[in-house]
């Protein structure tokens, strides 16, 4: 997750960080012309990057300086451009950047999932780039990302602990949960094993209410077990690699995330890599090959495909608040947007995310 991103802010805002330990992710890479390269995020990194030729580095450096200096409430930093009106394409053309450079900025830095952003106001892309650079500066590491020690299962566990403090009850692994509706079609409880828990609102993922969702896509995913770090990542124990769709001649990006025993998610000497993308065929082995090929020798691979759903119900009519299925991204930016939108729907309030980011730290070995 992005060190200064929305998910970390949510975890701090809810005090869940008291029950979580993070560790910085070692590297952030992008796939370009058959190789992986470190993602440059600042003017200094742009000059060092082997992603670009000499003249392109200078152009990119100027663009990065503009983004770094840009402040929304300081007109001097805008250089006469209203980024709420100017499109990203127009802003980038001012600096004359090449297509490959635009590709890694849009997909590996700003984390856009398609190229629609090019014709949308540039303010969003500039804010995303600033978030990346600020997150990168936060821990002086090789990437802007942090990851929980002991893996993502720690997130629900930390929420469960906090919930208990406020009198919440968790019941895990309950079989065949059925949402109960009254005559007017409003949900009033959930039944499992002959017991009904009464409620005013039901919050669930699409699998619980298949008649209230529509299929919007599929995700292909591979989990690979290795004995070594990913080649060409400077022996990093944890990395994210983004493979932009244009580089793969696909309709969507591919994501690789690798972590290891350094994050306490595998036995000593073992590495776990996840490769995922929006599925375009029924053959994940073939579709995910470009990502898996970057991993070097793999001991064991598990393939999975699952459908993605979006809710189509009216929550105010049936009291059911459904999430959207996880997409192929590995960085949670889209998931958190969905959760925040759901929070506003349920409570009628916006969650205030202005928090003291120092409440979540990530060290070399451990973090609080």
Does pLDDT of 65 surpass 80?
A: yes
* Mean pLDDT within 101-106: 96
| In-domain check, residue 43 | yes
Q: Is the pLDDT of residue 178 over 80?
A: yes
Tell whether 331 is covered by a domain.
no
In tens, the pLDDT along 306-329 reads 999 999 999 999 999 999 999 999
Asked whether 104 and 51 are in contact (CB, 8 A), the reply is yes
Looking at the structure of the chain, the number of domains it has is: 1
How do 239-243 and 202-204 pair as beta strands? unpaired
The reply to whether 104 falls in a domain is yes
Q: What is the pLDDT of residues 224-241, one digit of tens each?
A: 999 999 999 999 999 999
The pLDDT tens digits of the residues spanning 164-174 come to: 999 998 988 99
For residue range 7-64, what is the model confidence (pLDDT) as tens digits?
Answer: 999 999 999 999 999 999 999 999 999 999 999 988 999 999 999 999 999 999 999 9
Residue 53: CATH number of its domain: 1.10.405.10
Domain that holds residue 58: 27-138
What is the gyration radius of the CA atoms in the chain, in angstroms? 22
- Check: CB of residue 182 under 8 Å from CB of residue 199: no
Residue 363 has a pLDDT of: 57
Task: Please determine, for residue 366, whether its predicted confidence score (pLDDT) is greater than 70.
Answer: no
Residue 368 has pLDDT above 80, yes or no: no
Q: In the structure, what pLDDT confidence band is assigned to residue 118 with cuts at 50, 70 and 90?
A: very high
Look at residue 77 and tell me whether its pLDDT is greater than 50: yes
Residue 113 located in a structural domain: yes
Q: How much is the pLDDT for 361?
A: 66
- Whether 318 maps to a domain, the answer reads no
List of E strands, the chain: 22-24, 27-32, 35-38, 146-148, 178-181, 187-192, 195-198, 202-204, 213-226, 239-243, 254-260, 271-278, 300-311, 320-322, 362-363
């Amino acid at each position: 997750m992005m060190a200064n991103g929305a998910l970390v802010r949510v975890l701090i805002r809810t005090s869940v960080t008291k029950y979580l330990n993070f560790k910085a992710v070692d590297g952030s890479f992008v796939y370009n012309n058959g190789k992986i390269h470190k993602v440059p995020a600042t003017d200094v990194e742009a000059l060092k990057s082997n992603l670009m030729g000499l003249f392109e580095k200078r152009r990119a450096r100027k663009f990065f300086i503009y983004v770094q200096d840009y402040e929304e409430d300081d007109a001097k930093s805008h250089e006469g451009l209203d980024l709420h009106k100017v499109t990203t394409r127009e802003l980038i053309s001012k600096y004359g950047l090449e297509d490959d450079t635009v590709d890694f900025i849009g997909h590996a830095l700003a984390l856009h999932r398609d190229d629609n952003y090019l014709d949308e106001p540039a303010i969003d892309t500039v804010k995303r780039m600033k978030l990346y650079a600020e997150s990168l500066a936060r821990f002086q590491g090789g990437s802007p990302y942090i990851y929980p020690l002991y893996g993502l299962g720690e997130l629900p566990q930390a929420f469960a602990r906090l919930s208990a403090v406020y009198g919440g009850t968790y019941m895990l692994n309950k079989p065949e949960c059925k949402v109960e509706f009254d005559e007017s079609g409003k949900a009033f409880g959930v039944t499992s094993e002959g017991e009904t828990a009464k409620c005013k609102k039901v919050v669930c993922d699409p699998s619980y209410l298949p008649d209230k969702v529509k299929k919007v896509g599929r995700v292909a995913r591979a989990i690979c077990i290795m004995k070594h770090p990913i080649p060409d990542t400077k022996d990093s124990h944890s990395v994210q690699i983004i493979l932009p769709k244009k580089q793969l001649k696909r309709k969507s990006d591919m994501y690789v995330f690798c972590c290891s025993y350094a994050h306490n998610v595998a036995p000593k000497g073992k590495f776990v890599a996840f490769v995922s993308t929006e599925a375009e065929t029924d053959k994940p082995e073939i579709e995910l090959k470009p990502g898996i090929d970057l991993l070097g020798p793999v001991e064991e691979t598990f393939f999975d495909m699952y459908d993605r759903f979006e809710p189509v119900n009216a929550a105010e009519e049936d009291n059911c608040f459904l999430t959207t299925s996880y997409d192929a991204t590995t960085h949670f930016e889209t998931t958190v947007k969905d959760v925040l939108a759901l929070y506003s729907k349920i409570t009628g309030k916006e969650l205030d995310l202005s928090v003291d980011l120092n409440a979540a730290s990530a060290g070399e070995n451990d973090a609080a």
